[in-house]
Amino acid sequence: MGLCGPMYIYLPIAEVSVNVFILIGLGGLVGVLSGMFGVGGGFLMTPLLFFIGIPPAVAVATEANQIVASSFSGVLAHVKRRTVDFKMGGVLLIGGLIGAGIGVIIFNYLKGLGQVDLLVKLCYVLFLGIIGSLMFIESLRALGNAKRVGNSKPRHKRTWIHALPFKMRFRVSGLCISAIPPVLVGILVGILAAIMGVGGGFIMVPAMIYLLGMPTKVVVGTSLFQIIFVTAFTTMLHATTNYTVDMVLAVLLLVGGVIGAQFGTMIGAKLKAEQLRILLAIMVLVVCAKLAFDLIVEPSEIFNLSVARGH
């Protein structure tokens, strides 16, 4: 006790006492990644919060609130550098809000079946595994090409995407494509975001690069822009239905997070797009491997407790 030892703070909603510096440190670490890669960092933070003993429901809801802060901080730097495609962000957002609504319905249905933890983890392993591998292979190839030829292959290939109706011009991205693929990407990301308790940037960023063909430069800022609104919507849903947003926890995480995001953006601006992508791919694969490992290896305690509801 006292001021000399580690400083603990009691979280009013989570109802646990945690070390202040651990929370700020976690926030900072995830903030750096958020700024560097344009991912909300939720896919990393949510499991870390479980690990330090925050109840899962509180971790998921509070993390949504924290992502709002770090994404907002990050997007401001991108707005200044004019690397946000607001029009594309708006189209993605329409899909995102629809998707988040659907996601919450699916989540509550799975909760009723009593296997929601497992399904969330399997979702993580599946999506992180697929996206991490694809990005890793692609960026290795791009890195190799850049070295040998000094020139990357043309991005604007004509695919089925260009044959769809409702064409829109996205000037910042230099694209003229149908609004349907971005809305569908938004819906998919929104569903996964709500189920997995994340912002969804780690899915949206590759989808924007590989599916929509957006230039890497504007992908990060646009993704952050969309994430702000989807996570704000999720925060409100959790706050009003489950009362699981812990403001004290969120403030501590975002103190570290917003500062970290600024450093992350600075680091990100200095790295080449291919280097950024390969780093993000490695990180995604590491988290995926850890989650898969935990599912396969016999846990030290095969029993677990949860609050019983009903009666």
Partner 1 sequence: MRIFCTFFLIALFCFVRSALTQEIVLGLSKNEIGITAFFDGSEILVFGAIKATDELISNEPLGVAVTIASPLLPVMVRRKEKRFGIWVNVDAVEIDLAPNFYAVATTAAFSQVVDPVSDLRHSISMERMIRSVGAPMTVDDPDAFAEALIRIRQDQGLYKALPGAVTLQDNTLFSTSVTLPANLVEGAYTARIFLTQDGNVIAQKKTTIDVRKVGIERWLYNLAHQHPATYGLLSLAIAIFAGWSAAAVFRVIRA
Q: Which residues bind partner 1 (CB under 8 A)?
A: 1, 7-10, 12-13, 15-17, 53, 65-66, 68-74, 76-77, 80, 114-115, 117-118, 232, 235-236, 238-241, 243, 245, 247-248, 250-251, 254-255, 258-259, 261-262, 295-299, 301-308, 311
Q: Which of 115-153 are b and which e, b meaning 16 or more Cβ less than 10 Å from the residue's Cβ?
A: ebeebbbebbbebbbebbeebbebbeebeeeeeeeeeee
Provide the minimum distance between the beta carbon of 288 and partner 1 in the complex, in angstroms, as a whole number: 14
Which residue type sits at 97? L
- Identify which of residues 70 and 83 has a Cβ nearer to partner 1 in the complex: 70
- Identify which of residues 169 and 290 has a Cβ nearer to partner 1 in the complex: 290
- Identify which of residues 151 and 304 has a Cβ nearer to partner 1 in the complex: 304
- Identify which of residues 151 and 240 has a Cβ nearer to partner 1 in the complex: 240
What is the number of other CB atoms lying within 10 angstroms of the CB of residue 8? 13
Provide the minimum distance between the beta carbon of 113 and partner 1 in the complex, in angstroms, as a whole number: 11
For residues 254 and 28, is the Cβ–Cβ distance under 8 A?
Answer: no
Calpha distance 7→164 (Å, rounded)? 57
Provide the minimum distance between the beta carbon of 260 and partner 1 in the complex, in angstroms, as a whole number: 9
> Which residue has 């989570």 as its token pair?
14
Beta bridge partners of 17: 10
Provide the minimum distance between the beta carbon of 11 and partner 1 in the complex, in angstroms, as a whole number: 9
- Identify which of residues 159 and 241 has a Cβ nearer to partner 1 in the complex: 241
Among candidate residues 77, 21, 15, the one with its CA nearest the CA of residue 266 = 77
Phi then psi for residue 11, to 5 deg, are: -90, 120
Provide the minimum distance between the beta carbon of 15 and partner 1 in the complex, in angstroms, as a whole number: 6
What SS3 state is found at 300? coil
The DSSP output letter for 254 is H
Q: Which DSSP helix (H) or strand (E) runs through 218?
A: helix 216-241
Provide the minimum distance between the beta carbon of 209 and partner 1 in the complex, in angstroms, as a whole number: 25
Q: For strand 16-19 and strand 175-178, is the pairing parallel, antiparallel, or unpaired?
A: unpaired
Provide the minimum distance between the beta carbon of 277 and partner 1 in the complex, in angstroms, as a whole number: 25
- Identify which of residues 81 and 155 has a Cβ nearer to partner 1 in the complex: 81
Calpha distance 263→33 (Å, rounded)? 9
- Identify which of residues 154 and 310 has a Cβ nearer to partner 1 in the complex: 310
Provide the minimum distance between the beta carbon of 86 and partner 1 in the complex, in angstroms, as a whole number: 17
Phi then psi for residue 172, to 5 deg, are: -60, -40
What SS3 state is found at 167? strand
- Identify which of residues 163 and 305 has a Cβ nearer to partner 1 in the complex: 305
Overall size of the chain counted in residues: 311
For residues 49 and 63, is the Cβ–Cβ distance under 8 A?
Answer: yes
